[in-house]
Amino acid sequence: MSKVSAFLWFDKEAEEAANLYVSIFRNAKLGAVTRYGAEGPGPAGGVMTAQLEIDGYKFTLLNGGPLFKFNESVSFVIECADQDEVDLYWSRLSEGGAPGNCGWIKDKFGLSWQITPKRFYELANDPDRAKAGRVFGAMLKMTKMDIAALERAAMAA
């Protein structure tokens, strides 16, 4: 059986990013760090890859140089149990990064994350399509998702 994992190309911040993500996510651990040898292409002794695992999902972070940059076409979704969890991830991942709309944020490395409360999915999939539409409309006006505001939108007439 094959396994799918994420492989992320950084300029030279792979180890820093791995350490940051391990410090943010409760169920995360750092794995092997490999270094470039004399044959390169990076500086001898410099970090080539750093591996980490978050909630059972494996990531390999590569210091591949400035050739490629992250953009919003790839993002990682963090499904949050409550507003405290939304606030925690928003606060930690926004340090040096940039907030976007609808719960999206870029971290300081330019990697995009969607910080989404589980409650949003429940409200947006309500069988009452008018209610679900109000929730979706409220979300479109948000930067960081606010569960109480989403619930108020659901109950609005």
d(CA 54, CA 29): 7
Number of domains into which the chain is organized = 2
Give the model's pLDDT for residue 136.
Answer: 96
Strands in 104-106's sheet, in edge-to-edge order, are: 75-80, 112-117, 104-106, 98-99
pLDDT of 84 over the 90 cut: yes
Encode pLDDT of 51-81 as tens digits: 999 999 999 999 999 999 999 999 999 999 9
Give the model's pLDDT for residue 7.
Answer: 97
Q: Dihedral, CA atoms, 135, 137, 143, 144, nearest 10 degrees?
A: 0
| CATH label of the domain that carries residue 127 | 3.10.180.10
Encode pLDDT of 119-157 as tens digits: 999 999 999 999 999 999 999 999 999 999 999 999 996
Give the model's pLDDT for residue 42.
Answer: 86
Model-wide pTM > 0.85 = yes
Count, residues in the chain: 157
Give the model's pLDDT for residue 40.
Answer: 83
How many percent of the chain have pLDDT more than 70? 98
Residue 54 sits at φ, ψ, to 5 deg, of -125, 120
Do 82 and 127 share a domain, yes or no?
yes
Encode pLDDT of 89-118 as tens digits: 999 999 999 999 999 999 999 999 999 999
Do 33 and 88 share a domain, yes or no?
no
| CATH label of the domain that carries residue 38 | 3.30.720.100
- What contacts 66, CB < 8 A, 6 or more positions away? 11
User: Which residues are registered as beta bridge partners of 116?
Assistant: 79
The domain of 117 spans 70-157
Last residue of a domain, one of 42, 66, 90: 66
Strands in 28-35's sheet, in edge-to-edge order, are: 6-10, 57-63, 47-54, 28-35
pLDDT of 1 over the 60 cut: no
Q: Read off the tokens for 112.
A: 């995009």
Q: Read off the tokens for 61.
A: 């972070």
Residue 49 sits at φ, ψ, to 5 deg, of -135, 155
